[in-house]
């Protein structure tokens, strides 16, 4: 019985993470900071719950987790672009050189993000 309960709970967590990633993507494309903060909180909570249950995952659930990881990576790319656009807008507003505010990830030689886990 516990195994079935664990499987159901993991599926609920994965569905919740998927919805949080969809909401996050919507927030990023509309530059809605409050909604982005809300989805980040949900992702953090569900991520903690999932890490506690990862040992009980089925192969199908692991495959779903990989799909969600790809969604997360895509959202990270959008986040970097949104940050670059916000930096450019801040430069326009303040009359500063955008290069002096915050370099983009593409300008940081040697910067690498580990998206494998």
Task: Say if residue 84's pLDDT is above 60.
Answer: yes
What's the pLDDT band for 111 if we cut at 50, 70, 90? very low
What's the pLDDT band for 30 if we cut at 50, 70, 90? confident
Token pair 């986040």 is at which residue? 79
Q: Quick check: 20 and 39 in contact, CB under 8 A?
A: yes
pTM of the full structure: 0.72
Give tens-digit pLDDT for 50-66. 888 888 899 999 999 99
Helices 2-30 and 59-94: angle between axes, nearest 10 degrees? 20
Query: For all residues of the chain together, what is the average pLDDT?
Result: 82
């Amino acid at each position: 019985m516990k195994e079935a309960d664990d499987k159901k709970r993991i599926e609920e967590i994965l569905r919740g993470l998927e919805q949080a990633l969809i909401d996050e993507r919507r927030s990023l494309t509309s530059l809605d900071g409050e909604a982005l903060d809300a989805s980040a909180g949900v992702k953090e909570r569900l991520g903690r719950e999932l890490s506690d249950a990862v040992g009980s995952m089925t192969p199908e659930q692991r495959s779903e987790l990989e799909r969600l990881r790809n969604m997360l990576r895509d959202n990270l790319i959008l986040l970097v672009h949104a940050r670059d656009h916000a930096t450019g807008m801040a430069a326009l507003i303040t009359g500063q050189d955008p290069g002096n505010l915050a370099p983009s990830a593409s300008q940081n030689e040697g910067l690498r993000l580990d998206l494998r886990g």
